[in-house]
């Protein structure tokens, strides 16, 4: 069964600093990978996705993520964080043929001024 | 607005009552998902539909939970005899279908059982 691990429950960064949120997945073949962001009391918004091809994918709001097959990872990065990036971030995986996104428990991003 | 719509946004109910939530997916999307999210956790998959067919329902939390999508458009999620442990955010998502399409989420229904 597919699973997703987000090892960091909370991450605190200063505004303007760089950010990396970790995501590891468990699945035999190449999965389809996603990052979503959720503001308090809201639904989830897609930041970016990886299906195949270039392992570095660009998303909205200046985010990018890199798929590393050897490490089973899909870490999210941003070079300079803004206060408005404070939110909950979820990594998700879909294994080919299952069509069911499985989510990690999320990482809460706190941005200090 | 052509996004996923959920109604109501908030629901407070007494323990033992039945509740029903509605989800209207993006119009051309044929796949529809229901998730539950509790505080500090990621969305937990409950069930999904391909058009009107419910293809996976074994992850519904108990037989008090049921979902329908009678005409392959909107869907409803019903919880019978609610318990305090049912308090959560219930999220609906839809996608075009196929392997390489992402799910778009509604804003959720926040259920509080008192």
| Predicted local distance difference test score (pLDDT) of residue A98 | 73
**Lowest mean pLDDT: which of A33-37, A45-49, B95-99?**
B95-99
The helix or strand, by DSSP H or E, that contains position B43, with its residue range, turns out to be none
CB B54 within 8 A of CB B67: yes
Beta-bridge partners for A102: A93
B55-93 pLDDT, tens digit per residue, is: 888 888 889 999 999 988 999 999 999 999 999 999 999
Write out chain B residues lying below 8 Å of A34, CB-based: 102
Collect all residues of chain B within an 8 Å Cβ-Cβ radius of residue A101: 33, 45, 93, 103
Instruction: With CB atoms and an 8 Å threshold, state whether A90 touches B56.
Output: no
Q: What is the pLDDT of residues A3-41, one digit of tens each?
A: 899 999 999 999 999 999 999 998 767 789 999 999 988
Q: What was the pLDDT predicted at A7?
A: 97
CB contact under 8 A, A44 and B45: no
pLDDT of residue A53: 86
Q: Quick one: pLDDT at residue B46?
A: 96
């Amino acid at each position: 069964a597919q699973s997703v691990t987000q090892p960091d429950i909370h991450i605190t960064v200063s505004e303007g600093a760089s950010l990396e949120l970790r995501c590891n997945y468990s699945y035999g073949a190449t999965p389809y990978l996603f990052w979503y962001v959720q503001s308090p009391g809201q639904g989830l918004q897609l930041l970016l996705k990886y299906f195949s091809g270039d392992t570095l994918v660009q998303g909205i709001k200046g985010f990018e993520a890199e798929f590393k097959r050897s490490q089973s990872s899909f870490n999210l990065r941003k070079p300079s964080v803004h206060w408005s990036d404070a939110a909950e971030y979820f990594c998700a995986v879909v294994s080919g043929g299952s069509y069911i996104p499985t989510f990690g428990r999320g990482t809460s991003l706190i941005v200090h001024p | 607005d052509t996004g996923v719509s959920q109604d109501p946004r908030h629901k407070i109910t007494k323990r033992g009552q039945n509740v029903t939530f509605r989800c209207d997916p993006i119009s051309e999307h044929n796949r529809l998902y229901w998730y539950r999210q509790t505080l500090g956790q990621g969305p937990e998959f409950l069930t999904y539909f391909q058009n009107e067919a419910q293809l996976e329902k074994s992850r519904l939390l108990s037989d008090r939970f049921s979902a329908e999508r009678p005409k392959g458009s909107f869907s409803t999620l019903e919880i019978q005899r609610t318990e305090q442990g049912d308090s959560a955010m219930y999220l609906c998502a839809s996608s075009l279908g196929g392997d390489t399409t992402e799910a778009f989420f509604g804003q959720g229904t926040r259920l509080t059982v008192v």
